[in-house]
């Protein structure tokens, strides 16, 4: 088994991801600022925040359904193989034209789309969600153009630049929430004025527009001129359809499962949609900072290795990504499981948030901790198929994962009705991610000949032992502190800092005793290099 390129460059993947991880960290920190600002302005547990949340997720879902999900795994490999500027401009043009038509159609059917996604809304809440949706739908075009520009930057080796772009979006939305509070905005749907509605609507969409413009600026600095062309021939539409067609099947299945889960969440009580969405956002943070950075760095290299039929190199890149991801994420998963309620108390127990909604968000987050490593491993495995320009296999696996998600959600609603359903939905998500990981590993092994399974199992077993020590340390600290300081906002902050610090201090020591070499790679990558 070969390591990527050579043994002297073993830390290369982790070091290459450092700039991306930093950019993603800043992006996610400002993203949390955005979440906290919206919670403070609109109120966690309120029907107003639920209406905004549902409407603001629709552009993403529609974009993924129409085009984005189908192209997500094929844009970078295509641009790596056909890297000239005209090809990229024609690809960008095709995306813009398709999404422009999509916006016009979905504007007409906004009421039906809201009814489909949130049947549990009250009449006032439904009308507000429709208004928000019509203002938010232009985001579809901004997301599409931004995705194309980010793929161009990634193919040209500018991998960190796209990860800074969401910062602009977050800052604009934070400013919008602050302005909303400054003009006396509250958290009750029936008290919302036309001016406040317009501010929230325009400000939210302006954030996505700012994100796209920042990517366009970065593209120009990288030497790419983002311009539209009337003629989109010559980019291999038939080949793109062939690659993206199967991915589109997976996207349909994924969106159907998401729709089913969101419909169930909307019936779990006032504020349930935003509770579930905020827990999911917190769960996605370590994935975005660590795994997305690894995926972004490794996909172009795997694509080049696959293009020259170097399957051993593909396996080496894949194995190292999985091992580094597991070593970084397992202790985080342990801390999420133990400290979920304290995290959400510190973040959300202020402003218009209700205590019950904050506590429920923490319980959902704790269960999401079980899903972190399987979900991230599954996402890395899927990129192995994309590098081989195989979209059929990951699409079929995606359909299986979506089916498990939907069946689990149905069982959750039947067994645990009411707010407790949200916790069960998170457990179903963990089950679906595990099924996806195992299935992808089995199929990819047959394709590559091996996936370095013995080494992966050895690394993850030793890492799991060290992570368990982190979790038990956090439990011990929590049990010692709760009787003395309570679980209010200040008590939760002290518990979070003390338990997190103790667990994080123990983990490197346990890693050294257990000889987890990948941990040394990660730690060395975090050290600043001399000029």
State the pTM of this model: 0.77
Q: CA torsion sign, 475 to 476 to 482 to 485?
A: negative
The pLDDT value recorded for residue 17 is 56
Q: How far apart are CA 278 and CA 43, in angstroms?
A: 12
CA nearest neighbour of 152 among 197, 202, 217: 217
Measured N-to-C along each axis, helices 489-513 and 311-348 cross at an angle, to the nearest 10 degrees, of 150
The pLDDT value recorded for residue 72 is 57
343 neighbors 258 (Cβ within 8 angstroms): no
Whether the per-residue pLDDT at 58 is higher than 70: the answer is: yes
- Using CB atoms within 10 Å of the CB of residue 482, give its burial: 0 to 12 exposed, 13 to 18 middle, 19+ buried: middle
The predicted-structure confidence for 129-155, as pLDDT tens digits, reads as follows 999 999 999 999 999 888 888 888 877
The predicted-structure confidence for 152-183, as pLDDT tens digits, reads as follows 887 776 767 788 889 999 999 999 999 999 99
The pLDDT value recorded for residue 530 is 43
Q: How far apart are CA 56 and CA 46, in angstroms?
A: 16
- Using CB atoms within 10 Å of the CB of residue 447, give its burial: 0 to 12 exposed, 13 to 18 middle, 19+ buried: middle
Q: How far apart are CA 303 and CA 384, in angstroms?
A: 9
* Maximum alpha-carbon separation in the chain: 70
Q: What share of the chain is helix, strand, coil (3-state, %, to 5)?
A: 85, 0, 15
Whether the per-residue pLDDT at 526 is higher than 60: the answer is: no
Read off the pLDDT band of 18 (50, 70, 90). Answer: low
307 neighbors 81 (Cβ within 8 angstroms): yes
Most confident option among 269-283, 309-323, 428-442: 428-442
Q: Count other Cβ atoms within 10 Å, centred on residue 195.
A: 12
Portion of the chain with pLDDT greater than 70, in percent = 88
- Using CB atoms within 10 Å of the CB of residue 236, give its burial: 0 to 12 exposed, 13 to 18 middle, 19+ buried: middle
| Average pLDDT rounded to a whole number, residues 86-95 | 80
| Average pLDDT rounded to a whole number, residues 424-451 | 92
The pLDDT value recorded for residue 6 is 43
The pLDDT value recorded for residue 205 is 97
443 neighbors 381 (Cβ within 8 angstroms): no
Read off the pLDDT band of 8 (50, 70, 90). Answer: very low
The phi, psi pair for 182, rounded to 5°, reads: -65, -30
Whether the per-residue pLDDT at 210 is higher than 90: the answer is: yes
The pLDDT value recorded for residue 82 is 62
The CB-side HSE value for 467 (13 A sphere, CA atoms) comes to: 23
The pLDDT value recorded for residue 510 is 92
The predicted-structure confidence for 467-476, as pLDDT tens digits, reads as follows 999 999 999 9
The pLDDT value recorded for residue 36 is 85
- Residue for token digits 């370095």? 452
The pLDDT value recorded for residue 1 is 45
Most confident option among 154-163, 300-309, 333-342: 333-342
Task: State the DSSP code for 95.
Answer: H
The pLDDT value recorded for residue 10 is 45
Whether the per-residue pLDDT at 14 is higher than 60: the answer is: no
| Average pLDDT rounded to a whole number, residues 507-531 | 76
Read off the pLDDT band of 89 (50, 70, 90). Answer: confident
């Amino acid at each position: 088994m070969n390591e990527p390129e050579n043994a002297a460059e073993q830390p290369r993947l982790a070091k290459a991801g450092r700039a991306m991880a930093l950019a993603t960290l800043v992006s996610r920190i400002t993203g949390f600022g955005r979440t906290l600002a919206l919670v403070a302005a609109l109120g966690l547990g309120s029907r107003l925040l639920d209406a905004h949340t549902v409407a603001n997720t629709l552009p993403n879902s529609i974009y993924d359904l129409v085009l984005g999900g189908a192209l997500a795994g094929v844009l970078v490999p295509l641009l790596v193989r056909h890297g000239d500027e005209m090809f990229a401009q024609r690809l960008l043009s095709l995306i813009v034209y398709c999404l422009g038509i999509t916006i016009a159609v979905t504007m007409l059917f906004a009421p039906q789309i809201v009814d489909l996604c949130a049947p549990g809304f009250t009449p006032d809440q439904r009308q507000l969600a429709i208004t928000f949706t019509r203002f938010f739908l232009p985001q579809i075009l901004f997301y599409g153009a931004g995705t194309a520009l980010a793929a161009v930057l990634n193919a040209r080796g500018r991998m960190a630049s796209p990860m800074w772009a969401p910062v602009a979006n977050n800052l604009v939305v934070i400013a919008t929430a602050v302005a909303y509070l400054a003009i006396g905005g509250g958290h009750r749907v029936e008290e919302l004025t036309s001016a406040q509605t317009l501010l929230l609507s325009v400000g939210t969409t302006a954030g996505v527009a700012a994100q796209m413009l920042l990517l366009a600026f970065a593209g120009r600095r990288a030497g790419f001129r983002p311009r539209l062309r009337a003629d989109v021939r010559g980019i291999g539409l038939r080949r793109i359809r062939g690659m993206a067609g199967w991915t589109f099947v997976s996207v349909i299945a994924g969106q159907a499962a998401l729709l089913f889960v969101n419909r169930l969440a909307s019936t779990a009580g006032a504020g349930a949609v935003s509770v579930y969405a905020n827990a999911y956002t917190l769960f996605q943070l370590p994935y975005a900072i660590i795994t997305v950075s690894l995926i972004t760095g490794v996909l172009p290299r795997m694509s080049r290795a696959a293009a020259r039929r170097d399957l051993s190199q593909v396996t080496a890149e894949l194995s190292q990504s999985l091992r580094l991801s597991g070593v970084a994420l397992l202790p985080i998963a342990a801390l999420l499981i133990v400290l979920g309620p304290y995290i959400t108390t510190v973040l959300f127990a202020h402003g218009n948030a209700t205590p019950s909604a904050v506590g429920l968000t923490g319980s959902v987050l704790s269960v999401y901790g079980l899903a972190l490593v399987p979900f991230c491993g599954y996402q890395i495995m899927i990129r192995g198929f994309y590098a081989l320009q195989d979209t059929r296999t990951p699409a079929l696996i995606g359909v299986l994962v979506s089916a498990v998600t939907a069946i689990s959600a149905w069982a959750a609603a039947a067994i645990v009705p009411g707010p407790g359903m949200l916790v069960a939905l998170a457990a179903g998500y963990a089950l679906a991610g595990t099924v996806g990981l195992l299935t992808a590993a089995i199929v990819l092994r047959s394709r590559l000949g091996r996936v370095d399974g013995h080494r992966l199992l050895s690394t993850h077993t030793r890492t799991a032992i060290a992570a368990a020590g982190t979790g038990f340390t956090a439990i011990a600290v929590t049990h010692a502190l709760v009787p003395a300081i309570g679980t209010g906002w200040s008590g939760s902050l002290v518990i979070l800092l003390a338990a997190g610090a103790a667990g994080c201090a123990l983990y490197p020591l346990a890693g050294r005793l257990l000889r987890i070499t990948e941990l040394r790679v990660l730690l060395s990558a975090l050290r600043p290099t001399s000029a």
